[in-house]
Amino acid sequence: MPKAITGANARTVRRAGTTGELPGADGRLASLDLIRGVAVLGILAINIAGFSGPSLGTFTPDFPRPANLPDEAAWAVGFLFFEGKMRALFAILFGAGLALQCERMDRSGDDGDVIQVRRLAWLMVFGTLHYLLLWWGDILFVYGCCGIAVLFVRRLPCPVLLGLAAGVIVTATAIDLWSALPLARAEEAVRLGSASLAQQTQVLARLDLYQANAQAQASLYHSGFVDIAMSKLRHDPFWLFTMTGHAWTEILPLMLLGVVLLRSGFFLGEWPPLAMKWLQIGATALGLALTALVLAWAWPRQFPPIAMAMLLGKGLWPAHLLTALGYAAILVSAAPRLSVSRIGMRLVAAGRVAFSNYIGTSLLMCALFYGWGADLFGKPGPLDRWAFVFIGWIAMLAWSRPWLIRYRIGPLELLWRSLTLGKRMKNGLIPTS
């Protein structure tokens, strides 16, 4: 079995602090925390649709009723700059952080894999509670499952990891598009008035299903806390497994890419300047251009829900990946200066307590939109939702740094670490990432 840290891995650990370490933060890489802070803020810009209304709103603003132009434009901004990109950043960072922690524990003589399995198992517990008690869109359970899979292959050479990642995502995309494309074509044929009777029947059946789901969610989320939780237990107790089955073919490859990027010194800014410049400009521009092309196709058609579901499922992953890599390269290069600026320090702090911010955001948004809180579910349109996004951003940036100045670790991060280590917590056996 190859050694845990060789080549670029050793440079990553040895040189931590030369370009990206946050002073006095237990060896954390400020570049990772900075990107994570941006991602945890950015992901709210997409999740807000799932908090504030039926899940259908996450992939179209124009169903069940057409939206006005300002609402479509507001939704399009999120689609262009945030949709899929923040999710990709999160997954890449999770893989990189997981590998970094394992490598540091391996160096200290501990069994990093065993401790991480325990850590990821607790993450899945948190995810289950998050789903049952707060929000249906939990990603923690999925990340826990995919993280365990990463542990089995993390020591493989980088080319093999990249091959595995590419094989999984390409195969999954081909299968998904093969199965979803006929119905999306039928939807377009219905719009053009050239659909066969069979196509019309299929499309209407799918739209009726969407409509029924939207009505059921509206009824549920206007009810009380206990009613919502019990409904999930009775009617959809295995939703997290269903979600994992859909999402792992995207999340796992991104995590493996994060492992490769960590090994190569990417997060320390050790890549050649030309490669970094290409990612910063070329990858970002290409990813946004591909997204803009889809936007230009979908907008005149009022964002057809069947086609949008297909595109946001797997069809847009190249655009999401390119843009996420471009964003990451920009932030890595900016980290040495940005991380010591006022806004940068707050972003880094938000990234250091990303777990607390993620759950805290769910608590805040559910309190605003669900029946047991302010009961705003289904009321704000895409333009109005941005006000709630800004509220969430301000809250995350406002509390994270003052808390860390006093306590040095987030409240849920502390609980997670304590549950993972128990009595061994005092020895500091899990280095932060």
pLDDT tens-place string over residues 187-208: 999 999 999 999 999 999 999 9
Q: Is residue 245 part of a domain?
A: yes
Q: Which domain holds residue 338?
A: 33-425
Residue 231 included in any domain? yes
Instruction: Tell me the two tokens of residue 270.
Output: 């050790």
Local structure of 1: helix, strand or coil: coil
CA gap 75, 80 in Å, rounded: 9
156 φ/ψ sector (left φ>0, alpha ψ -120 to 50, else beta)? beta
Residue 112: the pLDDT is 75
- Whether residue 169 lies inside any domain: the answer is yes
| CA angle 167–172–174, rounded 5-degree value | 100
Contact 36, 354 (CB under 8 A): yes
DSSP 224: -
Q: Are 164 and 184 in contact (CB under 8 A)?
A: no
d(CA 195, CA 340): 59
Domain assignment present for 117: yes
- Decide if 14 is inside a domain: no
Residues 310 and 182: beta-carbon distance below 8 Å: no
Cα–Cα distance, 212 to 41 (Å, whole number): 31
CB-neighbour burial class of residue 422 (10 A; exposed 0-12, middle 13-18, buried 19+): exposed
Instruction: Tell me the DSSP string of 218-247.
Output: HHHHTS-HHHHHHHHHHH-TTHHHHHHHHH
**31 φ/ψ angles, rounded to the nearest 5 degrees:** -65, -40
Q: Residue 17 domain-assigned?
A: no
3-state DSSP assignment of residue 54: coil
Q: What is the pLDDT of residue 423?
A: 58
Identify whether the C-beta of residue 122 lies closer than 8 Å to the C-beta of residue 419: yes
Specify the pLDDT at position 381: 93
Task: Provide the domain count of the chain.
Answer: 1
What is the distance between the alpha carbons of residues 322 and 61, in angstroms, rounded to a whole number? 25
Contact 291, 316 (CB under 8 A): yes
Residue 369 lies in a domain: yes
For residue 159, the tally of other CB atoms under 10 A from its CB is: 9
CB 17 within 8 A of CB 358: no
Contact between 132 and 229 under an 8 Å Cβ cutoff? The reply is yes
pLDDT given at position 111: 72
Cα separations (Å) of 273 from 266, 276, 280, 282?
11, 5, 10, 13
Contact in structure between 189 and 199 (CB atoms under 8 Å): yes
DSSP state of 431: -
Tokens of 317: 């992953």
- 110 three-class SS: coil
Length of the chain counted residue by residue:
433
Q: Is residue 25 part of a domain?
A: no
The pLDDT of residue 13: 37
**Tell me, what's the pLDDT at 314?**
87
* Residue ranges of the chain with per-residue pLDDT less than 50: 1-25, 426-433
pLDDT of res. 26: 53
Which of 269, 248, 250 shows the shortest CA–CA distance to 319?
250
